[in-house]
């Protein structure tokens, strides 16, 4: 589909996507809109009409409401409109052809339901247990390699990126030797500073990579999710559908956890009282992961929907055809849901947040992501008791140019 989260990034005002002085706080343009209501009009740079949802309850009700669609093939969103053009009201259900692709993150029930179920059927308890011990091995190996190589490192390439990358490659049965090619192409296809041509080339290479992988699983089934998708589905999936589903998984599971590990480590190092509390009580790790997810909200404005009929939300009328942009960093700091929402507080009572979304599209990999973060932080801080930044905090390069927020690099030392 023409629509992509990157396209959304391009039509949003700069101050709503670029974080300000504090890299952990929502972008200043979002924070400035706090007083303007939980649901507010949002003029986009291409002149299209859209709505920004900053309230927690309102954002959650959008995600639970089937009148808001994720289907970018049937319902054009604001990124696909020309200046002055208004999206038409949604076509009647059944008017469009059934979808034959596998981009289930951009589908609605019931098409979404079938593909999602096939995948959840592959996330078995047995596989998750096996992955958990592999995740620990991978984390330990990488921290020990950092220690063996000296007293400083860039945490992103040395730890934050390889950990989730290796895990998802193992899960899908991707040969780790191919990971560099995969990572490079993913980064280029997501980077808004790459040219259209660079993005197209990287995207095509990524597609071919997965095509080869799926063909290989069809010929040589193994005990991995991709083989399961290729061989277990009834009625069977086409290879093209499996390729799409694998691309969704790879894209969704790669950059997200990596950036939580990088930015999460940065946030803990900058909040020494919180890090000390975690070191003193390792039992706080689950709460720490949830609080970091809420506090950092790395998917800033990537969750959007299109209204398929007129909807009144938080007292505001949203006409059919409008794009709704969820401001997750603001919703996750809604003062109606949390006391002192701008403070990182690992001892907070656990309350639901929206970092993994909500409703039928709620993050499919969240249990896996939680294990990766729990193990990832525990091994890092446990094995490197003197861990600290190797440069002043202001010099850490931020991923303001990327769809998923985080750090490009994090120079650390443990001398
Ligand atoms: C969906 C966040 C890690 C796979 C989502 C959504 C969010 C999210 C907000 C909802 C998107 C929407 O409603 O439009 C995160 C964060 C992660 C993470 C913050 C890391 C900390 C992972 C991992 C995997 C994964 C490790 C895979 C192994 C998926 C998939 C979907 C999804 C497949 C689409 C589900 C659907 O459409 O039914 N994620 N995710 N995610 N996530 Fe994650």
Query: Which of 363, 371, 376, 399 should be mutated for ligand 1, with most atoms under 8 A from CB?
Result: 363
Least confident of 18-32, 33-47, 179-193: 179-193
Distance (Å) from CA 248 to ligand 1 centroid: 9
pTM higher than the cut 0.90: yes
CB of 307 within 6 A of ligand 1: the answer is: no
Query: Which of 99, 252, 303, 331 should be mutated for ligand 1, with most atoms under 8 A from CB?
Result: 252
Model confidence at 167, pLDDT cuts 50, 70, 90, reads confident
In this predicted structure, the answer to whether residue 241 has a pLDDT above a threshold of 80 is yes
Q: What is the 3-state secondary structure (H, E, C) of 226-250?
A: HHHHHHHCCCCCCHHHHHHHHHHHH
For 97, which DSSP code? Answer: P
Which value, in Å, is the radius of gyration of the alpha carbons in the chain?
21
In this predicted structure, the answer to whether residue 162 has a pLDDT above a threshold of 70 is yes
Query: What is d(CA 176, CA 169) in angstroms, rounded to the nearest whole number?
Result: 7
The ligand 1 atom nearest the CA atom of 373: 21
Residue with the bigger pLDDT between 403 and 71: it is: 71
Average pLDDT, the chain: 90
Interval 134-146 mean pLDDT:
97
In this predicted structure, the answer to whether residue 402 has a pLDDT above a threshold of 80 is no
Distance (Å) from CA 257 to ligand 1 centroid: 10
98 burial type by CB count under 10 A (0-12 exposed, 13-18 middle, 19+ buried):
exposed
Q: At what angle do helices 366-383 and 239-270 cross, to 10 degrees?
A: 40
> What is the pLDDT at residue 245?
94
Tell me the C-alpha to C-alpha distance, in Å, between residue 300 and each of 29, 109, 288.
12, 25, 20
Query: What is d(CA 199, CA 203) in angstroms, rounded to the nearest whole number?
Result: 6
Kindly give the pairing relationship between strand 411-413 and strand 152-154: antiparallel
Model confidence at 146, pLDDT cuts 50, 70, 90, reads very high
In this predicted structure, the answer to whether residue 159 has a pLDDT above a threshold of 90 is yes
Distance (Å) from CA 386 to ligand 1 centroid: 33
CB of 256 within 6 A of ligand 1: the answer is: yes
Phi, psi of 395 (to 5 degrees): -90, -5
Minimum CA distance residue for ligand 1 atom 32:
363
Tell me the C-alpha to C-alpha distance, in Å, between residue 44 and each of 9, 83, 230, 301.
10, 10, 41, 13
Query: ipTM of the assembly?
Result: 0.99
Q: What would the pLDDT profile of 282-330 be if each residue is shown by its tens digit?
A: 999 999 999 999 999 999 888 999 999 999 999 999 998 889 999 999 9
Residue with the bigger pLDDT between 209 and 183: it is: 209
Q: What would the pLDDT profile of 336-377 be if each residue is shown by its tens digit?
A: 999 999 999 999 988 899 999 999 999 999 999 999 999 999
Distance (Å) from CA 123 to ligand 1 centroid: 14
Supply 323's token pair.
Answer: 């794009």
Distance (Å) from CA 273 to ligand 1 centroid: 30
Residue with the bigger pLDDT between 184 and 365: it is: 365
Distance (Å) from CA 358 to ligand 1 centroid: 10
Calculate what percentage of the chain has a pLDDT beyond 90.
Answer: 63
Least confident of 71-75, 90-94, 314-318: 90-94
The ligand 1 atom nearest the CA atom of 254: 26
Distance (Å) from CA 361 to ligand 1 centroid: 8
In this predicted structure, the answer to whether residue 88 has a pLDDT above a threshold of 80 is no
Distance (Å) from CA 303 to ligand 1 centroid: 10
The ligand 1 atom nearest the CA atom of 354: 9
CB of 355 within 6 A of ligand 1: the answer is: yes
- Among residues 388, 375, 373, which one has the least CA distance to residue 153? 388
Q: How many CB atoms lie within 10 A of CB 109?
A: 12
Least confident of 46-60, 142-156, 383-397: 46-60
Tell me the C-alpha to C-alpha distance, in Å, between residue 113 and each of 117, 120, 140, 151, 411.
6, 10, 37, 49, 43
Minimum CA distance residue for ligand 1 atom 18:
256
Q: Which residues pair with 43 in a beta bridge?
A: 49
């Amino acid at each position: 589909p023409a629509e992509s989260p990157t396209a959304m990034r391009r039509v949003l005002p700069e101050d709503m996507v670029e974080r300000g002085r504090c890299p952990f706080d929502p972008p200043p343009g979002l924070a400035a809109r706090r007083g303007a209501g939980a649901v507010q009009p949002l003029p986009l740079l291409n002149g299209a009409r859209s709505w920004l949802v900053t309230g927690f309850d309102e954002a959650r009700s959008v995600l639970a409401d089937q009148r808001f669609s994720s289907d970018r093939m049937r319902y054009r969103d604001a990124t696909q409109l020309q200046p002055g053009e208004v999206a038409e009201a949604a076509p009647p259900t059944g008017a469009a052809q059934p979808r034959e692709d596998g981009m289930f993150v951009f589908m609605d029930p019931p098409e979404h339901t079938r593909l999602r179920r096939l995948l959840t059927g592959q996330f078995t308890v047995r596989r998750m247990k096996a992955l958990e011990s592999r995740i620990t091995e991978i984390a330990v190996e990488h921290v020990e390699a950092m220690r063996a190589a000296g007293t400083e490192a860039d945490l992103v390439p040395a730890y934050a990126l390889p950990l989730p990358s290796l895990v998802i490659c193992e899960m899908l049965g991707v040969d780790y030797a191919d990971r560099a090619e995969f990572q490079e192409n993913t980064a280029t296809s997501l980077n808004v500073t790459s040219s259209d041509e660079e993005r197209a080339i990287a995207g095509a290479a990524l597609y071919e990579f997965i095509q080869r992988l799926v063909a290989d699983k069809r010929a040589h089934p193994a005990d991995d999710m991709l083989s399961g998708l290729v061989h277990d589905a009834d009625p069977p999936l086409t290879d093209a559908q499996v390729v799409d589903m694998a691309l969704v998984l790879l894209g969704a599971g790669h950059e997200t956890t990596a950036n939580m590990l990088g930015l999460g480590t940065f946030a803990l190092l900058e909040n020494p009282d919180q890090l000390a509390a975690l070191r003193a009580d390792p039992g706080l790790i689950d709460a720490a992961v949830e609080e970091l997810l809420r506090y950092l909200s790395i998917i800033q404005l990537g969750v959007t929907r299109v209204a398929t009929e007129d909807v009144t939300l938080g007292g505001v009328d949203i006409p059919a055809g409008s794009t709704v942009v969820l401001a997750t960093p603001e919703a996750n700091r809604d003062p109606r849901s949390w006391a002192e929402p701008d403070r990182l507080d690992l001892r907070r009572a656990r309350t639901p947040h929206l970092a993994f979304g909500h409703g039928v599209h709620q993050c499919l990999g969240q249990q896996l992501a939680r294990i990766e973060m729990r193990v990832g932080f525990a091994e890092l801080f446990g094995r490197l008791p003197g861990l600290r930044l190797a440069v002043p905090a202001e010099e850490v390069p931020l991923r303001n140019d990327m769809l998923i927020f985080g750090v490009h690099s994090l120079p650390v030392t443990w001398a």
